[in-house]
Chains A and B, each alone.
Chain A
Amino acid sequence: MLRYVINRVLLMIPTMIAISIIVFTIIQLPPGNYLESYIAELQAQGESVDPQKIAFLKQEYGLDKPIPEQYLRWVGGMLRGDFGYSFEFNLPVTKVVGDRMFLTILVSAFTIFFTWAIAFPIGIYSATHQYSWTDYGLSLLGFLGIAIPNFMLALVMLYFANVLFGTSIGGLMGPEYIGKPWSWDKLKSILEHSWIPVFIIGAGGTAGMIRKMRANLLDELQKQYVVTARSKGLPPGKVLRKYPLRMALNFFISDIGSLLPHIISGAEITAVVLSLPTTGPMLLQALKSQDMYLAGSFLMFLAFMIVVGVLISDLALVALDPRIRLQGGVAR
């Protein structure tokens, strides 16, 4: 097991390197470097540019060096916790980002649990009551969940909250906690506010999960061991609980790999609409103003989150599924 874990973690390294190269290429894609456009923008606004600061930044981030060296500096900086400099905010990226990354992780984790909590019982019900009216109804609801874009759901909910209750459901915490240090009250406020974004982000993924859960369980329910268990007189509930459900559980964990990118994509755009203090709005703003260091570190962070999420799900699967054996040297 330990060998597998080490192997699996080592395998992450080339993936992360490849991802960082792609992200760096994207950062480099806009013509000219960001410093030039930053200076041009400042001059266009009629502000004076401090030549000393420009020279310092140029030297600090090696913008006059060849591209491969810039890349190495960038990656090296990230490993030391220096994510570069945001030219829009005039601050190091780490200062700009603040809690946002943590809140993104928090919201994503909530959403995964929400997805599970909803999809699991509904999927089981749909599968065991195949072709009943409730099954059709739930399926239709699931399809609607897939078809309605997250941001539209967010807008509609904003609209109805505004029209019916006269409140705004945007934000992730009470206004009195914004910018305050972490405390229990703040966490409680976040929990109170987060269920709406979690619902909106999770809707699409939950719908997909229900479909998959239903299909998986239906396959499993037709297998012979279920027939055997039934014919031996086991009550239906126990048959379900004892075998097919356990198989379905594995699928829940292994599916994180495809669920997580989906959730993060949804979270980004929903956050823009609901103006949540997560990475979404800032990523969009950074991309629009071509503040590429900031955008690049967000992209890196999101990709890293997915890679780690998949790693966790792989490890959990090995721990939970007795059919996966790691003996024999070859991992996976």
Chain B
Amino acid sequence: MSAAVPSAAMDDLPQAPATGATALAPVGDTPGHLVSRAPFDPQSAVRLTEEQEHFYLASQWMLMWWKFKRHRVAVASGIILLLMYGSTLVTEILVPYNLHTRHTDFIYAPPQSVHWMHEGKFVGPFVYLQKKTLNMETLRRDYSEDTSRPYPVRFFCSGDPYQFWGMFEASFHLVCPPEGATLFLWGTDRLGRDVFSRIFYGARISLTIGLLGIAISFALGLLFGGIAGYFGGLPDMIIQRVIEIIRSFPELPLWMALSAVLPVTWSPLLIYFGITGILALLDWTGLARAVRSKLLALREEDYCTAARLMGASPKRIITRHLLPGFMSHLIAAASLSIPSMILGETALSFLGIGLRPPITSWGVLLNEAQNINVVALYPWLMLPVLPVIIVILAFNFFGDGLRDAADPYR
């Protein structure tokens, strides 16, 4: 600062504290020592209001959440998925019948409709009694409604007893069939089991197989993708080749072959884990590729070099510095590949080489609808495909929303 234009220079000072200004010597003398006695605040120029602070200092996940919230369809899909997964915890309570309850008098009964008005009077939700007659010509069971008397549906009631979470006996249901009548909302199958209840029970297996499978394939993808991307060279080449070979197999036939060779002697539960493993075994390649390409790009970044120079181990660099950088992206990718697993299980079970009864998934239920004659006579056996479609759509929209939210350039 030159002594000739002190006042102008002083004006330029950004709001010099008052204490500093008074300490200045008069014009002509040597300038005094300019010292501000106010405590040093490095943020003084960029002071944030509380709102701004909330916004600018938000974590990466917070930003993603805000972006995701704007995507209405994705949020709705997320809620649907949450409800569906939540329902698997309390399936026993939600449905009127147990998984294996048979009604030998009502084999292949069509869906019963719930009525509200009986002979012009409001009764509330009720059903009519189903009457069965055997058609002697076609040998089919014909069902007709006996509209003489309404049977009100019971709520918060006691029905089929079950073991809740395998721990204690209970018989509480949200909805029960009326006394002396039945409540087959979506009809019954060839053993007289309620399709509606069975679909809810099937959700347990079908939904968890997707989660469990993606967990395995996620771990495999991270491991192999991480090795290939970080170390490069020979490991990279080998893993790339393996991925290429796995990818040049048609998925479904290979799944079919692998699940067909699962030993017949295995218990249904073991088969369940076996099938999940098979689904995951062919699915990790996509994730591994994503991990690899991201790692290849990120490991050249300066912050990664800095960490290496400071002596961080590869494990620390990968898990601490690189993975968080694209974890969100990976989760979005993973949620987009859950549907293919659910579809895979459904297809295998539909063909009869996937899960086996008594384990009940949507695919196992659809297995009953494999025959065109059955489908033509009892179309309600195709209903388990509805939840499949809903879940696949929901996961697709949800994953799309996640992907958009995780993408910083959008």
Q: Tally of A-B residue pairs with Cβ under 8 A?
A: 121
A272-312 vs B, CB cutoff 8 Å, 1 = contact: the mask equals: 11000000000110011010000100110011001100100
Answer whether residue A163 sits at the interface, using C-beta atoms and an 8 A cutoff: yes
Complex: A310 Cα to B247 Cα, angstroms = 11
Q: Select one of A146, A147, A295, A310 contacting B257, CB under 8 A.
A: A295
Q: A147 near B392 (CB under 8 angstroms)?
A: yes
Interface of A is mostly: helix
Q: What's the nearest-Cβ distance from chain B to residue A28, in Å?
A: 9
Complex: A269 Cα to B369 Cα, angstroms = 14
Q: A144 near B245 (CB under 8 angstroms)?
A: no
Number of B residues near A (Cβ < 8 Å) is 40
Complex: A272 Cα to B389 Cα, angstroms = 21
Complex: A150 Cα to B14 Cα, angstroms = 70
Complex: A220 Cα to B88 Cα, angstroms = 45
Given contacts A152-B366, A163-B376, A283-B253, contact A272 B260 (CB under 8 A): no
Answer whether residue B393 sits at the interface, using C-beta atoms and an 8 A cutoff: yes
Contact stretch, chosen from A1-9, A14-22, A109-117: A14-22
Q: B253 near A268 (CB under 8 angstroms)?
A: yes
Q: A149 near B375 (CB under 8 angstroms)?
A: no
Q: Select one of A162, A265, A283, A295 contacting B372, CB under 8 A.
A: A162
Q: A261 near B248 (CB under 8 angstroms)?
A: yes
How big is the A interface, by class? 35 or more
Complex: A19 Cα to B281 Cα, angstroms = 15
Q: Select one of A26, A147, A262 contacting B258, CB under 8 A.
A: A26
Among A144, A149, A261, the one with the most B-chain Cβ atoms within 10 Å of its Cβ is: A149
Q: What's the nearest-Cβ distance from chain B to residue A274, in Å?
A: 9
B242-275 vs A, CB cutoff 8 Å, 1 = contact: the mask equals: 0011011111111011101101000000000000
Answer whether residue A31 sits at the interface, using C-beta atoms and an 8 A cutoff: yes
Q: A310 near B248 (CB under 8 angstroms)?
A: yes
Answer whether residue A174 sits at the interface, using C-beta atoms and an 8 A cutoff: no
Q: Which residues of B contact A18 (CB under 8 A)?
A: 241, 245
Given contacts A147-B339, A156-B382, contact A290 B260 (CB under 8 A): yes
Given contacts A261-B248, A287-B353, contact A26 B257 (CB under 8 A): yes
Q: A302 near B253 (CB under 8 angstroms)?
A: yes
Q: What's the nearest-Cβ distance from chain A to residue B406, in Å?
A: 16
Q: Which residues of B contact A266 (CB under 8 A)?
A: 252
Complex: A147 Cα to B346 Cα, angstroms = 12
Q: What's the nearest-Cβ distance from chain A to residue B139, in Å?
A: 20
Complex: A124 Cα to B249 Cα, angstroms = 31
Chain A, residue nearest B386 (CB): A152
Q: B260 near A152 (CB under 8 angstroms)?
A: no
Chain A, residue nearest B247 (CB): A261
Given contacts A152-B366, A162-B376, contact A26 B249 (CB under 8 A): no
The contact sample of 6 A-B pairs, CB cut-off 8 A, is A29-B261, A146-B396, A147-B389, A155-B369, A284-B353, A287-B353
Residues of A within 8 A of B (CB): 14-15, 18-19, 22-23, 26, 29-31, 143-144, 146-149, 151-152, 155-156, 158-159, 162-163, 168, 170, 261-262, 264-266, 268-269, 272-273, 283-284, 287-288, 290, 295, 298-299, 302-303, 306-307, 310
Residues of B within 8 A of A (CB): 241, 244-245, 247-254, 256-258, 260-261, 263, 339, 343, 346-347, 350-353, 366, 369-370, 372, 375-376, 379, 382, 385, 388-389, 392-393, 396-397
A155-B372, A163-B376 known; 9 new pairs, CB 8 Å cut-off, are A15-B244, A147-B393, A149-B350, A159-B376, A261-B248, A265-B251, A269-B347, A283-B256, A299-B254
